[in-house]
Amino acid sequence: MFSTVFIMECRRLLWCFSFLVIGASSSAIQMLFNTEDLKNIEFGHEYPRHGLLLLHWFAGHVFISETEDIQLDFNPERRDYGFRYYKPPQNVQNMALPQLDASLDRVYYSVGSLGSEDIRTQLPPYVTQEFYNSNDNPRNDVDRIVVRVHKSNPTIADKVYVTESVKGGAGRFDLNKTYEISSKLLKQVQILQKPIDVLQALASGMFGQLDSNATLSDDPRLKLSKEELLNHLKHNEKRLKTIFEQPGVRWLLSLAGYDIDGRYEIHKQIWLCSTDESDRPGEPSSDPKTMCEGQNPVKIEVKSTSDGYAKLIWSGIPKNILQQEASIVLFSSDTASVLETFEILSGRESGSTGTFVALSNGLHPRLITYSFGTGHGFIGLHYSVIWRGMQFDAANRVIPTEISGYNASLQLYTVQGYACARLYIKKSFTDWKDVFQNSWVGFYTSEKDAVKNYQYYQWVTKFEEADDEDETKEYLIYQYQSSMSIGPGVQARFLFSRGTPGYFSRCDVSFCWP
């Protein structure tokens, strides 16, 4: 009797044991279904990590079909927004993402590696601001999003992962910190980008209860209790408002359990706010003494003058900073220490100014203040960097436009203030020089110019191949620099043969310089 029970127990244990082993060896990646699930993970949850910001950005660039396919509005294979081919390393234990069988027609692409200038300049300011302003903190570049797409149609993803790169791991991701994002969660993050009238919803008693409308119940905000909702409005919103401009970002950080108080402490230090401000009652001020009382984040940007020079634009600079001889200084990159030019703000909370610095990739604006004081053993004028803006992107963060019917795309960008065009040719499109034999790219000052009124042109076959050592890329890049200045409204058009255009760009797409 005793022995039978013992054997049965033993069998059961063995069964359990083997089950556990199977579970571990197939390294099942946990799936996250809703914003509540995000609360239990570390991904991007504290300064200076950018993961949740990247997730918000990514959700804004996908369309989820009825069949739960994830359609991307960009092409990761073409390296749009800094996506890069990702191959899981072989013979590594605890591999985060499974190797993909060659017969499967699937490949991985990852995004978010801000340490690379080519990548960080292509993502929007709210995703990269923590990176620029965290002084080489090693945690400012660990978060990644990986998509698994159809090799034959890279704009369709069937899996989305959030993960962390392993320090010194040569592209390895941490298995323990890799999660799959369900399309339902992606949809929720999308819904947060839509405004919601919380007060009205609260009054109508919609909060805190499941309603039968599918679209409504997808909105995680409607599942909050009244206390949680009030906490978001009174506490979280107040702290995040001058850090992240978009309400959808603030909602996501709030619902995902981001360390908002920790972030706000850093905000106060950066902007020299007084310490008791967070508890002070009252509405945000339109004429704030300090950043913490303001309504919007500070912006400092580089745009184009009408003739290819850098234009500095700023807004939202609080009084306490302006009082300290605030200036915007411009550097050729975020690592450069030689000043290109500067503008003394003289009390102007917002404004813009042209410069004589030719526009080029990577230009970096910074907000500084001067003060008299002692330091490094002498008395004199000292400057401190208050805020670092984002670097200028030569293509103005506009992805290439597909030339319909061909595996080729065109992109307008600038080098030293001149209008340039880049052709992306898919490697498999080997006879493109024959197909595009008589094709040319024309540069126009405006979308209204007639085809024959180009300023400059070049035959497509005479574009020069850009050197790029990376073997993993699927597109070859050919480029041409015109002698025309870049500026708002400038357009590049791809024309199939001289005088008989077969294809017109639309000005709202990439050809037109914003």
Ligand X SMILES: *[C@@H]1O[C@H](CO)[C@@H](O)[C@H](O)[C@H]1NC(C)=O
**Residues in the site for ligand X, rule: CB under 6 A?**
94, 174, 176, 206, 211, 213, 216, 405-407, 426, 428
Q: How far is the CB of 488 from ligand X (least distance, A)?
A: 33
Nearer to ligand X, 116 or 213 (CB): 213
Q: How far is the CB of 95 from ligand X (least distance, A)?
A: 11
Strand, coil or helix: 177: helix
Write the CA distances from 442 to 453, 470, 504, 513, integer angstroms.
Answer: 9, 29, 11, 14
Q: How far is the CB of 14 from ligand X (least distance, A)?
A: 21
Q: How far is the CB of 391 from ligand X (least distance, A)?
A: 32
Pairing of strands 30-32, 179-181: parallel
Q: How far is the CB of 29 from ligand X (least distance, A)?
A: 13
Nearer to ligand X, 42 or 211 (CB): 211
Q: How far is the CB of 175 from ligand X (least distance, A)?
A: 6
Preceding peptide of 48 cis, ω within 30° = yes
Q: How far is the CB of 402 from ligand X (least distance, A)?
A: 9
Q: How far is the CB of 63 from ligand X (least distance, A)?
A: 21
Q: How far is the CB of 64 from ligand X (least distance, A)?
A: 20
Nearer to ligand X, 290 or 401 (CB): 401
Q: How far is the CB of 154 from ligand X (least distance, A)?
A: 10
Nearest to 140 by CA among 50, 253, 58, 56: 50
Nearer to ligand X, 289 or 426 (CB): 426
Nearer to ligand X, 9 or 105 (CB): 105
Nearer to ligand X, 41 or 451 (CB): 41
Quote the DSSP letter at residue 26: T
Nearer to ligand X, 241 or 426 (CB): 426
As a residue count, the chain comes to 514
How many CA atoms within 13 Å lie on the side-chain side of 5? 2
Strand, coil or helix: 300: strand
In sequence order, what are the beta bridge partners of 304? 310
Nearer to ligand X, 33 or 406 (CB): 406
Q: How far is the CB of 322 from ligand X (least distance, A)?
A: 47
Contacts of 369-373 with C-beta under 8 Å, sequence gap 24+, read 369/321, 369/324, 369/325, 369/326, 369/327, 370/324, 370/325, 370/327, 371/324, 371/325
CA 410 – CA 401 distance, rounded (Å) = 5
Phi-psi region of 214 (alpha: psi -120 to 50; beta: other; left: phi over 0): alpha
**CB contact burial 434-455 (16+ within 10 A = b; e otherwise):** eebeebbbbbbbebebeeeebb
What is the signed CA dihedral for 316, 322, 325, 327, rounded to 10 degrees?
A: 0
What is the signed CA dihedral for 161, 162, 165, 166, rounded to 10 degrees?
A: -90
Q: How many CB atoms lie within 10 A of CB 496?
A: 16
Nearer to ligand X, 90 or 483 (CB): 90
Nearer to ligand X, 174 or 301 (CB): 174
Beta strand extents in 2-86 (DSSP E only): 30-32, 62-64, 70-72, 84-86
The token pair that represents 471 in the structure block: 């073997």
Nearer to ligand X, 219 or 334 (CB): 219
Helical ranges in 26-124 per DSSP H: 35-38, 51-59, 117-120
Is 133:300 a contact under the CB 8 Å cutoff? no
CA 271 – CA 289 distance, rounded (Å) = 11
Nearer to ligand X, 343 or 474 (CB): 474
Q: How far is the CB of 24 from ligand X (least distance, A)?
A: 8
Nearer to ligand X, 204 or 374 (CB): 204
Run of H or E including 382: strand 378-388
Q: How far is the CB of 94 from ligand X (least distance, A)?
A: 6
* 354 φ/ψ angles, rounded to the nearest 5 degrees: -80, 160
